[in-house]
Chains A and B, each alone.
Chain A
Amino acid sequence: MINLSEISENLQRGKTKVVKELVQQAIDEGCKPEDILEQGLLHGMGIIGEKFKNNEVYVPEVLVAARAMNAGAQLLKPLLAASGVAATGKVCIGTVQGDLHDIGKNLVKMMMEGKGLEVVDLGTDVSADTFVQAAIEQNCQVICCSALLTTTMNVMGDVVKAAEAAGVRDKVKIMVGGAPVNEDFCKSIGADCYTTDAASAADAAVALCKA
């Protein structure tokens, strides 16, 4: 019988092929898909996220671990859907209009998926209205806005205003992040949450979805 911690350990080493094989083996042996997800994939990604937050691993380690997690999750998806397992919450994420940088946004997305959140990736150069429309149409509890440039960070304020104008500000939380963003800026535009790194953003999003 497979030990699910093997999945976690191989995921942390970014061994995509091995993770896929072990997940398939666990499925074949009759492990519950939610156990494989929780004790294997999410457990491993959680450890990588913590290590990243503490500067013990770097971006490449996170990227290869997330790749392994996605490979394993693809096998689990139909089984989880069939057994009615719900995600921890649902968020939409994007890099704001005028900004094409996406590595920070992608890291946050990976960390969020590693926490069991369903993430709608809106990509880069996303307008304020697109963020809000996506949140409404997809029933997202949180909007996450990323920016690398000082020239584009003010679009985050437009997202807050667009949520107000659409009458959903009390239903959706707005998170902001990226190199030029800080807590003062977050407060000044009326957003709900700023975090300094991708792993903290994932923790915060989980908390906001549960609130």
Chain B
Amino acid sequence: MNSTERVRNLLLGKPVDRQPLYGWVSANLKGQITERWGSVAAFEDKYEFDMAHIFDGPLAFSKSMLARIREENDGEVPPDVLLENDCYHSVDNPAAWDRMKRSIEHHKQRGRFCYVQTPGFFECFNDAFGIENHLMYLLMYPDEIAALYARHVDWVKRYAEHCVAAGADMVHISDDWGAQKDLMFSPEIWKEMIYPNMKKVVDHIHSLGVFASLHSDGCIAKIADGIVDIGFDMVHPWQENAGMSHELYLEKYADKFAILGGICVQSAIGILERKDLEKEIRRVFANLKGKRWVCCTSHFVQNHCTVEDLEFAYDLAYRLARE
């Protein structure tokens, strides 16, 4: 069973030969890892990472167009003005996909399961509005925001088609909805504005024959049933220290979707002494091993984590995944 088969089976709820392993290690530790291992790729090979998280697609909005709108509107991008303008970059420019294709080829040679990230509705429009304005606009301009989100569906669907053409196994939609204790906005807003559009996107991704995954930090428990209805196959990070307990997952959702995460960058790796870090990783494995879980970090490992601590954590996770 190679990595792709392993992760595919796990996503489908079928048996796997061992717990898959992955980590968001390179964003902040690329330099340290390269110094010690020669390259991030060498680190990924050593720990036999089963997945590859690939970015590198085109941005949604034209920065110059947004800058012009801001200049003309006292520094803001009002939703009604954005709606009147076509601010999208073309998603069909072949050159925009070259790097992604090369990344996928590299990881496919190692048998890895490749997932490609695209920003979802809330996250993508944060770039245009700024997060605080965006949150206010949800209440102040509900019709315009609904129209913008609806228009965005086509762009994401086309983006997903390119990801699949490039060889992706899963399209990963990053759309942070959670804060530390609760959602950032009400479940009603989510249900009305995000759910129907996200459902169209995920249905389309499935029609292309690949999986769909969601990234949302924070507490998203109030809409977890909706995430099931949308049809996501995997959720990252299911942030335990933001109220997303393993018990909740195992009791209600383990037969609905897989989770990616477990090693918390906010409270464990790079934070705890090794003795406590070992205890924590063992606890997570005790809770989730044998379930539909890919062991991964909850977000990018932060740069106060030493490369030695990173190795310690991954040596242990590597062993536990195979025991």
Binding site for B on A (CB under 8 A): 14, 55, 57-61, 63-64, 67, 103, 106, 149-151, 179-180, 196-197
Given contacts A55-B181, A103-B131, contact A151 B138 (CB under 8 A): no
Bound together, the chains give a CA A110 to CA B83 distance in angstroms of 30
- How many Å from the CB of B80 to the closest CB on chain A? 17
Contact call B266/A150, Cβ cutoff below 8 A: yes
The 5 A-B pairs at the shortest CB distance, nearest first, are namely A60-B135, A63-B136, A151-B302, A55-B182, A58-B185
Contact in complex: A60, B302 (CB < 8 Å): no
**Residues in B neighbouring A57, C-beta threshold 8 A:** 186
| Docked CA distance A103–B265 (Å) | 20
Whether, in the assembled complex, B183 has its beta carbon less than 8 Å from a beta carbon of chain A, the answer is: yes
Cross-chain contact B184 with A58 (CB below 8 angstroms): yes
The answer to whether B266 and A60 have CB atoms under 8 Å apart is: no
B-side interface size class: 20 to 34
Chain A residue contacts of B270, Cβ below 8 A: 150
User: Cα distance A68–B135 when bound, in Å?
Assistant: 15
| B36 contacts across to A, CB distance below 8 A | none
Would you list which residues of chain B between 157 and 186 have a CB under 8 Å from chain A? 179-186
Chain B residues, Cβ within 8 Å of A67 = 136
The chain B residues found within 8 Å of chain A, CB to CB, are 131-132, 135-136, 138-140, 179-186, 189, 265-267, 270-271, 302-304
CA distance A179 to B266 in the complex (A): 8
Given A58-B183, A150-B304, 12 more pairs with CB closer than 8 A: A58-B184, A60-B135, A60-B184, A60-B186, A63-B132, A63-B136, A64-B139, A64-B140, A103-B132, A150-B266, A151-B302, A179-B180
Q: Is the CB of A150 within 8 A of B135?
A: no
How distant is the Cα of A59 from the Cα of B135 in the complex, in angstroms? Answer: 7
Look across to chain A and name the residue whose beta carbon is closest to the beta carbon of B184: A59
With a cutoff of 8 Å between Cβ atoms, the chain B residues found around residue A14 in the complex are 136, 139-140
Q: In the complex, A59 Cα to B186 Cα: how many Å?
A: 9
Closest CB in chain B relative to A43 CB, distance in Å = 21
Q: Write the nearest CB–CB distance from A50 to chain B, whole angstroms.
A: 15
| Pick from B136, B189, B266, B303: contact of A64, CB under 8 Å | B136
Give A59 to B218 CA distance when docked, in angstroms: 14
A59 to B179, CA, bound (A): 9
Residues in A with CB closer than 8 Å to B131 are 103
B180 and A150 within 8 A (CB): no
Given contacts A61-B139, A64-B139, contact A150 B302 (CB under 8 A): yes
Give A202 Cβ to nearest chain B Cβ, in Å. Answer: 16
- A60 / chain B contacts, CB cutoff of 8 Å: 135-136, 138-139, 184-186, 189
Q: Which residue of B lies closest to A197 (CB)?
A: B181
A138 → B minimal CB distance (Å): 25
